[in-house]
Amino acid sequence: MTGNINSVLTGAHGPSQNHLLAALLDAEFDRLAPHLEWVPMLLGDVLYESGGKLQHAYFPTTSIISLHYVFENGGSCEMAGVGNEGVLGVSLFMGGATTPSRAVVQTGGHGYRLNGELLLEEFNRAGPVLSLLLRYTQALMTQMSQTAACNRHHSVDQQLCRWLLMTLDRMPSNELTMTQELIANMLGVRREGVTEAAGKLQDLGYIRYRRGHITVLERNGLERHVCECYSVVKKEVARLLSDVRQR
């Protein structure tokens, strides 16, 4: 099911739930608003495959999208996540049109879909949208590079803390639906490693895990246990996007 922007503009699923859409000036928003489609994003949905040409940009509101690099043997690991702070489809306006990553819905919810040509047209106006999207792209690049460093140098339980905190930052609650197998695919580690790491965090009283559901009981504990990678990304996103207005 999809919905025209007019039917949800003032409702609980309005575009202002996405920080980039909320930051648009009135003129830019008014040009794009009639073309925004409110769409469901179900857990496990593949929004685009590695090497495929992108047709749409996606602005998540209540969903989270995971960008995966897929190896020749079929394995994969997460490069970055996109939630209500950003947009999926930077290749559309960076000149590539395709990407080597796969985009999979990590947390089900909703968002807005926009024809890629319309986003590119707005970007090429060389106005406020260009500046906003370039700063978001820099923040996304920081997240990707920090994720690569974290996966190489930090323990699985620290990586899990980073992933949990970044997911919580994009959600209104402390309840996550995610199996250990999916988390292992996200982090690019063995499922046994996730089992051990989750058990350690549960023993410390930071989380409760059962049957694919994770409840964060003590966020402060996760923040004490996590490596510096989480704060590096969070501070960079705040620095790059701190001066944008919100609708």
CATH number at residue 36: 2.60.120.10
Residue with tokens 């025209």: 4
Dihedral-angle region of residue 241 (phi above 0 means left; psi in -120 to 50 means alpha; beta otherwise): alpha
- Share the mean pLDDT of the chain: 87
pLDDT tier for residue 4 given thresholds of 50, 70 and 90: very low
126, part of any domain: yes
DSSP 16: G
110 inside domain = yes
Given a contact cutoff of 8 angstroms between Cβ atoms, the answer to whether 154 and 146 are in contact is no
Domain total of the chain: 2
**Domain span holding position 112:** 3-148
d(CA 60, CA 86): 7
Q: How far apart are CA 11 and CA 56, in angstroms?
A: 23
Q: Residue 231 above 70 pLDDT? A: yes
Task: State pTM to two decimals.
Answer: 0.88
pLDDT tens per residue across span 129-159 = 999 999 999 999 999 999 989 988 999 999 9
- Note the Cα 242 to chain centre separation in Å: 18
